[in-house]
Amino acid sequence: MPERDPQPFLARLGWEGARHRTMAGDASSRRYERLSKGGDTAVLMDAPPEAGERIAPFLRVAHHLRAQGFSAPAILGHDAAEGWCLMEDLGDAVFARTIADPATEGDLYAAATEALVHLQAAPPPAWTEPYGPARMTAFVRPAWTDYLGRTAPPSPAWNALEERLHDLLERHAAERTVLIHRDYHAENLIWLPERTGIARVGMLDFQDALAGHPAYDLASLVDDVRRDVSPRAEARVIRTYCDLTGSGEAALRTALAVQSVQRNLRILGVFAGLAASRGKPRYLSLLPRVWGNLLRRLDEPGLHLLRTDILSVLPAPPVRAAA
């Protein structure tokens, strides 16, 4: 893809001549740069429309989160047609780095859980699309096409797997849906201790938000595919969530397990696809952790038949070094 020139866009916002430093990206075609000018910093998102990227969903969710008092980046300017967005710089204290000190893990995960409870307190906005059992079941198909690399229609065994997963998602459906971030984990949360309450937890990468099960983002948080969450931190997340919401722990753990199985099945396929078709082999090194998350949640009572279905179709990924 040819290099894109952001200077005309930045000049309109008074950021021409700023210094640029490339920041870590994500699984999409979006790119991020930190800009510095006159002692101020900002973050430039480059979301090329020709690569299928859209910034409108990001803007919509950002405005909603900020209106609710959350620390989503303030939008300093955007050009949706060209795929540029200049936003507030929330800094470098990403949870995944800050938790390098084990003593901070429990407190940060508790703060993330408190923010999540507040996020779920209000009904999802009218513009959020539902992420219910049928759609969630359809979304695991990349495990067949990309993880297994199959071009033929799914086998009877795979169809049985999908049917059982759908039944479990239906059986453990929530009484109400909430706004789900869908990637609520340590790489997308920033610690802002100078702020108070829910604003201490900065949020990134929320453009794929949908209306779904309250346990989905909990599963994303504790079954992180990029870092191992300690059992103590996971227990604190569950306890904090139950204390703040009045949820029963046993029912919550079962719902979390079902949501996590769906999520990790999908991620197996998505990460394999990113390696094969997008030239991002580093995602292959994450597959063993995804697989471990999947097997651990399949040990939950009531999921043993689904475990048999999955293991009859999917092999464990090979262990690979990080690229």
More confident residue, 241 or 24: 241
43: helix, strand or coil = strand
CB 231 within 8 A of CB 80: no
227: helix, strand or coil = coil
Please state the rounded mean pLDDT for residues 20-34. Answer: 84
Domains and CATH numbers, the chain: 7-88 (3.30.200.20), 95-313 (3.90.1200.10)
Task: Tell me what pLDDT residue 29 has.
Answer: 82
Q: 176: which DSSP letter?
A: S
The span from the CA of 213 to the CA of 130, in Å, is 10
Task: Tell me what pLDDT residue 84 has.
Answer: 97
The answer, yes or no, to whether residue 1 has pLDDT greater than 60, is: no
Q: Computed over its alpha carbons, how large is the radius of gyration of the chain?
A: 20
The span from the CA of 58 to the CA of 64, in Å, is 10
To the question of pTM greater than 0.75 for the whole model, the response is yes
The span from the CA of 204 to the CA of 43, in Å, is 12
- Segment holding 269, helix H or strand E: helix 249-277
Task: Tell me what pLDDT residue 317 has.
Answer: 96
Q: Give the other-Cβ count within 10 Å of 203's Cβ.
A: 25
More confident residue, 264 or 323: 264
The answer, yes or no, to whether residue 323 has pLDDT greater than 60, is: no
Please state the rounded mean pLDDT for residues 12-39. Answer: 89
The answer, yes or no, to whether residue 319 has pLDDT greater than 80, is: no
pLDDT tens digits, one per residue of 271-295: 999 999 888 899 999 999 999 999 9
Q: Could you give the percent of the chain with pLDDT greater than 90?
A: 90
pLDDT interval class at 321 (50, 70, 90): low
Please state the rounded mean pLDDT for residues 166-178. Answer: 96
Q: 188: which DSSP letter?
A: S
Please state the rounded mean pLDDT for residues 242-255. Answer: 97
Task: Tell me what pLDDT residue 2 has.
Answer: 63
Task: Tell me what pLDDT residue 52 has.
Answer: 85
86: helix, strand or coil = strand
More confident residue, 278 or 296: 296
What's the count of helices (H) and strands (E) in the chain, helices before strands? Answer: 12, 9
Degrees to nearest 5, angle at CA 254 with 249 and 257: 120
Quick one: how far is CA 17 from the chain centroid?
Answer: 34
